[in-house]
């Protein structure tokens, strides 16, 4: 289930920061509940197009992680 991001273009900085946050979330899923909660709080505070991009990147990182 890949969400398409059809809203305003994200800057490279935004993409990098959100991608890193998504990767941190995948890494922390089984080991750091506090970090997961903090990331989830940040995501909930994002605008919808940023939130959609986060979920897209989270899904991609999660799939890579399960393939390894």
Tens of pLDDT, residue by residue over 21-49, are: 998 888 887 677 878 888 899 999 999 99
pLDDT of residue 7 exceeding 60, the answer is: no
2: pLDDT confidence band, cut at 50, 70 and 90? very low
pLDDT of residue 18 exceeding 50, the answer is: yes
pLDDT of residue 6 exceeding 60, the answer is: no
**55 and 3 Cβ atoms separated by less than 8 Å:** yes
Domain ranges of the chain: 21-67
Q: How far apart are the C-alpha atoms of 10 and 49, rounded to whole Å?
A: 9
48-67 vs 33-44: helix axis angle to the nearest 10? 150
Shortest CA distance to 3 belongs to which of 63, 61, 60, 55?
Answer: 55
């Amino acid at each position: 289930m890949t969400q398409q991001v059809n809203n305003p273009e994200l800057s490279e900085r935004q993409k990098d920061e959100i991608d890193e946050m998504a990767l941190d979330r995948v890494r922390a899923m089984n080991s750091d509940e506090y970090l997961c909660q903090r990331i989830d709080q940040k995501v909930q505070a994002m605008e919808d197009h940023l939130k959609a991009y986060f979920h897209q990147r989270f899904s991609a990182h999660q799939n890579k992680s399960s393939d390894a």
